[in-house]
Structure 1
C-alpha cells in the first residue's frame, strides 16, 4: 500500500503508510493513489504498483490530440509548387527576352496561361502564409 509519493530532483520517491521508502525511480511524478503511482519517463507514462513494478505504459501527449498530417510535409509541397512557378516565370522571361509579343509566335504562351500562372502564384502565397500563421498559433 502506498502512503505518499513525492518528487525529489529527477527522481520519484514512494513511501509506505508507515514511512518506509518503498522504491525510487527516475522520472516526473504525475500522481498517485494508495494502489499505484504514475510516473512520466520521456514521452511515456508508467503506472507502477507499490513495489515499483510497471503495470502499464501509455504514450504521453500532454493533453494534445495526435496530429494526423504534418504541416512540414504540406509546407514542402507548397514550396515545391512555388519552385515550379519560378520555373514558369523564367520561361516567360526567356520568351519576352526574344522580343516576341505574347501569342504571336504560334506557341502555347498566351495571356490566358499568364493569368493562370499569376492566380496560382497568389494561391500558393496565400497557402504558405496560412500554414506559417497556423504553425505559430496552433
Structure 2
C-alpha cells in the first residue's frame, strides 16, 4: 500500500501508510494510487508497485499541439484570405465604378460578386473557428 508519492528534485519518493520511505527512484512523478505509482524516465513510463518492482513499461510522448505546423497553416490561411479579400475589393471597385446605383442598372445585380463576398466572410469565420479550436486564438 502507498500513502503518498512526491517529487524530490530529480527523484520520486514513495511513502508507506506508516510514514516510512518505501523507495526512491530517479524520474518524474506522473501519478500514483494506493497500489501503484507511475514514473517517467526519459520517454518510458514505468508503472511500479509499493516495493519498487516494475509492473509494466510504456512508450510515453507528451501530447502537446505542434505549434510550428499550426502556426504555418494559420499563416497560409491568413495569406490566402488576404488574396481573396484583395480580389473582392477589386471586384467591388469595378462594380461601384460603373457610376450607376445598385437598383438603377435594370435589376442586373452581379450576384457572383455578392456570393464571393459572402464566401469570403464565411471563410474568415471558419478560419477563426478552426484557430480557436486549435488553441491559437485565445
TM-score by length of 1: 0.52
Give per-residue Cα distances to partners, 1:56-84, cap 9 Å, x unaligned: 1254779xxx99xxx93874564354133
Cα distance in 2 for partners of 1:125, 1:47 equals 47
Kindly state the Cα deviation for residue 120 of structure 1 after the two structures are TM-superposed: 0.7
The aligned residue for residue 12 of structure 1 is 12
Kindly state the Cα deviation for residue 27 of structure 1 after the two structures are TM-superposed: 0.9
TM-score by length of 2: 0.52
- Superposition RMSD on alpha carbons, in Å? 4.8
> Structure 1 segments of 4 or more deviating over 6 A?
none
Change (3 A) 1:127 1:95: same
Kindly state the Cα deviation for residue 39 of structure 1 after the two structures are TM-superposed: 1.9
Cα distance in 2 for partners of 1:136, 1:38 equals 31
Cα distance in 2 for partners of 1:20, 1:125 equals 58
Change (3 A) 1:95 1:8: closer
Cα distance in 2 for partners of 1:93, 1:137 equals 30
Task: Tell me the secondary structure at the aligned position of residue 38 of structure 2.
Answer: strand
- For the Cα contact (< 8 Å) 1:6–1:29, is it kept in 2? no
Change (3 A) 1:15 1:112: closer
Kindly state the Cα deviation for residue 12 of structure 1 after the two structures are TM-superposed: 0.8
Kindly state the Cα deviation for residue 90 of structure 1 after the two structures are TM-superposed: 5.1
- For the Cα contact (< 8 Å) 2:39–2:47, is it kept in 1? yes
Task: Tell me the secondary structure at the aligned position of residue 32 of structure 2.
Answer: strand
State how many pairs are aligned.
122
Cα distance in 2 for partners of 1:20, 1:85 equals 65
Give per-residue Cα distances to partners, 1:73-103, cap 9 Å, x unaligned: 8745643541331241354267469x6569x
Change (3 A) 1:86 1:3: closer
Change (3 A) 1:32 1:40: farther
